[in-house]
C-alpha cells in the first residue's frame, strides 16, 4: 500500500504545517510520502527534512491557477485545493492520500492519524472530515479507485463553479453538495459535527441545505431533488442568491400548478430563512418581490466585467458538435445548419456522430469534411432532452472525455417542458434553443442559462431542376404540404391542410396540391388515412420517398406556396426555407415560426388554443396547442391564387427578412458572441488541453 500524507498552507500557516508533517513522519516512518502544498512562495525554506516535499500551485492540474479566484471565494483557499492535490498524488502513483488543513485547527489538537485511517475500508472511496471540535478534523481521505476519481472530478467541477460565484460560507457548503454530485454507485462518507458516518442517501443538515429545503417545501411542497442540490445549494449562503432561488421557484410552472396563493407561500417561505425580524416587515418583503438587487459580493471581487464590447473579447477556439451529423431528419439538418453558421463565423468544430439513435437514412456528410480533428473545451450535445442521458453514456462508452463546459441544444413543441425531461439538466451547463417558444418552455424550469440560437437558413436550388424532375404538373399554382410521420402527424396536422386546400380548390380550380412525406413505412395506418383523405381530389401529387436535403430544396423551388397548419413548431424549418426562396407561406400564426413570420412577409392563419386531451407519444396531455382556422387558411390560399402582386410582395419581403435574421453570418455572429461571453466568465475554456480525436 503506497500512502501519501499531505497538507496545504500559506503565509504564517506554513511553519505549523511543516512542523505537523515532521511529527507525522515520526509516527509513520515511510520515506518520500509527505507533501506540503504552499499557496505562496515562502521567504525561507519550508523544511530541512528531505522526506517532506514542497509543491506549488503550478504542480497541480488546475484549470488555470493564475486566474482562478481561490483567494476570495473561500475562507481558506487551501480548503478548495484538496481535490486537485489528491488528484496530483493519485497521478504520482499513490494508493491512498490523506490531506489535512492546519488553518482550521490549533497545532495542539491535530488528530492521531491512526484514528482517521480506520475510516478507510475496502468499500469506502472518499472520506471527508471537517469541523471545529477536536474529534472532527479538517481532512480529505481517498483511495485511488475509479469511483474516487469520478467523485474528485465532480467535486472539482462544483468547486470551480462555486469559486466563480465567490460565495460567502466557504468550503463547508460545497462539501455538503458532494453526495448530490456523486452517482449512486459511489460510496462517499461525509464525516462532521452534524452528520457522523453519513452516506449518500441521508439528508445533510447544514445551514444552506436547511434553507433550500425550507424554500422547496414552502413553494413547491416537496424536497429539492438532486439537480436542485447541485445547482441551487451554493446560492443559499448569501441573501441575493436566496432571493433569486425563491423568485425562480415562485415563477415556475410547478408552483403555478399548485393551489392559488404563490405570494403568500413566498412570504411564508422567506420569513424564517434569515433568522431575523427584518424579513417580517413590509420593506423587506417588498425587496424580495422587487427586481433583483445587486449581489452582496461586488462583481469586482468575483470577475471583472467585460472592459469592452463582447465582440472584442477573445473567443474559445471551437466546440465539439455531437449529434445526428449525417441523419436525414430535421434535428440532423438543424445540427448541420449550426455547423454552417460556425464556418461563417470562423468558429472551428469537431464532430461526433450519434445518428445510430435515429431510424432515418445517414447519407448527409456535408459538414464532415470541414470538421476539425481536435477536441475542444466545449461540448455541444445536439440531441433533445429525451436522448441526452443516453448520448452522454454512449460518449463515455466510446472513451470520449467530457469537455470543460457542456451545452445541450434542445427542441420542444409544447409551451411546457415535461418533468420527466428535467433530469437532462444534470448533464449540461447551459441549454441552447432555436426559438423564443422553446426558450420560454425551457427557461421556466431551467436551473442553467437558456440561450436562443435560431437555425441558419441558406441554400441554393439546383440550376437544372424543373417540375418534370418530380412529376409535377405545369400551369398550376402548387401548394406544398410536407412533414415527417416521425414528427407526429397530429402535431403537424396535415388533415387541416387538406381540408383548407379542398375549400380553396373548389373556388380556385387552378390550384394543385403536393404532399411530401417521410417515414410513412413506420406508420402504415396513418398513411392509409392520409391517402384516403385526398382520393377524391384532382391535381394531387403524392411524394412518399426519401429526398436528399438538396432534393427537398429543389422541390420547394418548384412549388408556389407552403401550407403548414401545425398545432405547434419548435422552429418551423420548412416555412423558413420556403420564405428564403421568396415564396409565400400560409402557416398557423402560433409557436416558434412567429419568430420570423409577420403579416408583412407571410400569411399567418388565425387559431384557437386548446389543451392536448390525451398523451401523444412524447407529448403529455394538458399543455395548449393551436387549432388553425381552416376557413381562414383557405381564404389565404385563394388570395394568393388571385392576387399575384400580393404573392410577389410577401415573397420578396420574406426572402429579405430571412436573410437578415437567419443567414449563417447572422447566426454565426450570435454564436461567437455567446462563446466570447462564456470565455470571459469561464476563462478555463481558453486554457483547455486540445487533443486529436478519431474521425467519426
**pLDDT, average across residues 351-374:** 80
Give 178's contacts (C-beta < 8 A, 6+ positions apart). Answer: 126, 128, 151, 154, 155, 158, 188, 190
Q: Is residue 237 very low, low, confident or very high in pLDDT (cuts 50, 70, 90)?
A: low
Greatest mean pLDDT among 82-96, 355-369, 585-599: 585-599
Mean pLDDT computed over every residue of the chain: 77
pTM, full prediction: 0.58
Residue 179 CA to residue 199 CA, distance in Å, equals: 8
Q: What is the pLDDT of residue 518?
A: 80
Residue 349 pLDDT more than 80? yes
Q: Which residue has the higher pLDDT, 295 or 396?
A: 396
Q: What is the pLDDT of residue 138?
A: 54
Check if the beta carbon of residue 315 is closer than 8 Å to that of residue 347: yes
Q: What is the pLDDT of residues 484-495, one digit of tens each?
A: 877 678 899 999
Residue 661 CA to residue 654 CA, distance in Å, equals: 10
Instruction: Give the three-state DSSP class for 629.
Output: coil
Residue 104 pLDDT more than 70? no
Q: What is the sign of the dihedral through the CA atoms of 459, 463, 464 and 466?
A: positive
Residue 230 CA to residue 177 CA, distance in Å, equals: 6
Residue 635 pLDDT more than 60? yes
Q: Is residue 226 very low, low, confident or very high in pLDDT (cuts 50, 70, 90)?
A: low
Residue 248 CA to residue 450 CA, distance in Å, equals: 14
Q: What is the pLDDT of residue 100?
A: 72
Residue 624 pLDDT more than 60? yes
Residue 466 pLDDT more than 90? yes
| Helices and strands in the chain: count of H runs, count of E runs | 26, 23
CA–CA distances in Å: residue 431 to residues 183, 314, 324, 680: 22, 22, 17, 18
**pLDDT, average across residues 280-286:** 38
Give 189's contacts (C-beta < 8 A, 6+ positions apart). Answer: 119, 124, 126, 127, 128, 197, 198, 199
Residue 379 pLDDT more than 90? yes
Instruction: Give the strand order in the sheet containing 511-518.
Output: 540-543, 511-518, 477-484, 561-564, 585-588, 603-605
Q: Is residue 626 very low, low, confident or very high in pLDDT (cuts 50, 70, 90)?
A: very high
Amino acid at each position: 500500500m503506497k500512502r501519501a500524507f499531505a497538507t496545504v498552507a500559506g503565509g504564517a500557516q506554513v511553519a505549523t504545517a511543516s512542523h505537523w508533517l515532521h511529527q507525522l513522519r515520526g509516527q509513520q516512518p515511510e520515506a518520500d510520502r509527505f507533501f506540503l502544498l504552499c499557496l505562496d512562495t515562502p521567504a525561507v525554506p519550508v523544511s530541512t527534512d528531505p522526506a517532506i516535499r514542497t509543491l506549488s500551485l503550478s504542480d497541480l492540474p488546475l484549470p488555470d491557477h493564475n486566474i482562478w479566484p481561490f483567494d476570495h471565494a473561500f475562507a481558506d483557499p487551501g480548503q478548495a485545493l484538496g481535490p486537485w492535490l489528491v488528484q496530483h498524488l493519485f497521478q504520482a502513483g499513490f494508493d491512498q492520500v490523506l490531506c489535512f488543513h492546519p488553518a482550521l485547527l490549533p497545532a495542539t489538537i491535530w488528530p492521531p492519524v491512526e484514528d482517521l485511517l480506520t475510516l478507510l475500508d475496502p468499500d469506502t472511496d472518499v472520506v471527508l472530515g471537517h469541523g471545529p471540535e477536536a474529534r472532527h478534523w479538517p481532512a480529505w481521505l481517498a483511495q485511488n479507485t475509479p469511483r474516487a476519481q469520478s467523485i474528485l472530478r465532480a467535486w472539482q467541477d462544483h468547486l470551480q463553479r462555486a469559486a466563480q460565484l465567490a460565495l460567502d460560507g466557504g468550503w463547508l457548503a460545497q462539501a455538503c453538495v458532494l453526495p448530490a454530485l456523486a452517482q449512486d454507485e459511489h460510496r462517499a462518507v461525509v464525516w462532521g459535527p452534524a452528520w457522523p458516518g453519513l452516506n449518500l442517501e441521508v439528508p445533510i443538515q447544514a445551514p444552506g441545505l436547511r434553507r433550500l429545503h425550507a424554500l422547496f417545501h414552502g413553494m413547491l411542497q416537496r424536497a429539492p431533488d438532486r439537480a436542485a442540490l447541485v445547482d441551487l445549494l451554493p446560492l443559499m449562503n448569501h441573501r441575493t442568491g436566496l432571493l433569486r432561488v425563491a423568485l425562480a421557484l415562485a415563477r415556475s410552472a410547478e408552483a403555478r400548478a399548485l393551489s392559488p396563493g404563490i405570494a403568500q407561500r413566498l412570504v411564508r417561505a422567506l420569513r424564517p430563512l434569515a433568522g431575523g425580524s427584518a424579513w417580517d416587515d413590509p420593506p423587506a418583503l417588498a425587496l424580495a418581490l422587487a427586481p433583483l438587487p445587486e449581489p452582496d459580493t461586488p462583481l469586482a471581487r468575483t470577475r471583472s466585467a467585460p472592459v469592452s464590447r463582447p465582440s472584442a473579447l477573445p473567443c474559445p477556439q471551437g466546440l465539439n458538435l455531437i449529434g445526428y451529423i449525417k441523419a436525414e431528419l430535421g434535428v440532423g439538418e438543424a445540427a448541420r445548419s449550426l455547423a454552417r453558421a460556425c464556418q461563417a463565423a470562423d468558429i472551428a468544430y469537431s464532430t461526433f456522430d450519434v445518428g445510430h439513435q435515429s431510424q432515418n437514412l445517414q447519407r448527409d456528410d456535408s459538414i464532415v469534411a470541414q470538421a476539425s480533428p481536435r477536441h475542444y473545451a466545449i461540448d455541444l450535445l445536439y440531441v433533445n432532452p429525451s436522448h441526452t442521458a443516453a448520448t452522454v453514456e454512449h460518449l463515455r462508452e466510446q472513451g470520449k472525455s467530457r469537455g470543460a463546459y457542456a451545452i445541450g441544444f434542445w427542441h420542444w413543441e409544447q409551451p411546457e417542458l415535461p418533468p420527466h425531461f428535467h433530469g437532462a439538466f444534470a448533464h449540461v451547463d447551459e441549454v441552447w434553443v432555436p426559438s423564443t417558444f422553446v426558450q420560454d418552455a425551457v427557461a421556466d424550469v431551467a436551473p442553467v442559462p437558456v440561450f436562443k440560437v435560431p437555425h441558419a437558413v441558406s441554400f441554393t436550388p439546383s440550376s437544372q431542376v424543373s417540375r418534370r424532375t418530380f412529376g409535377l404538373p405545369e400551369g398550376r399554382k402548387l401548394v406544398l404540404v410536407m412533414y415527417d410521420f416521425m414528427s407526429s402527424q397530429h402535431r403537424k396536422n396535415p388533415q387541416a391542410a387538406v381540408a383548407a386546400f379542398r375549400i380553396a380548390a373548389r373556388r380556385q380550380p387552378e390550384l394543385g396540391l403536393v404532399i411530401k412525406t417521410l417515414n410513412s413505412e413506420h406508420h402504415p395506418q396513418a398513411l392509409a388515412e392520409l391517402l384516403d383523405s385526398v382520393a377524391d381530389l384532382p391535381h394531387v401529387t403524392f411524394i412518399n420517398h426519401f429526398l436528399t436535403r438538396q432534393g427537398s430544396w429543389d422541390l420547394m423551388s418548384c412549388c408556389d406556396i407552403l401550407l403548414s397548419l401545425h398545432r405547434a413548431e419548435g422552429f418551423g424549418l420548412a416555412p423558413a426555407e420556403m420564405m428564403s426562396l421568396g415564396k409565400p407561406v400560409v402557416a398557423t400564426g402560433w409557436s416558434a415560426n412567429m419568430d420570423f413570420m409577420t403579416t408583412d412577409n407571410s400569411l399567418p392563419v388565425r387559431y384557437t388554443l386548446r389543451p392536448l386531451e390525451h398523451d401523444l407519444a412524447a407529448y403529455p396531455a394538458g399543455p395548449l396547442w393551436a387549432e388553425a382556422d381552416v376557413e381562414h387558411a383557405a381564404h389565404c390560399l385563394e388570395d394568393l391564387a388571385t392576387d399575384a402582386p400580393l404573392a410577389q410582395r410577401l415573397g420578396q419581403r420574406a426572402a429579405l427578412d430571412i436573410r437578415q435574421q437567419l443567414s449563417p453570418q447572422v447566426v454565426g455572429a450570435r454564436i461567437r458572441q455567446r462563446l466570447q461571453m462564456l470565455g470571459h466568465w469561464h476563462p478555463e475554456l481558453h486554457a483547455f488541453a486540445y487533443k486529436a480525436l478519431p474521425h467519426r
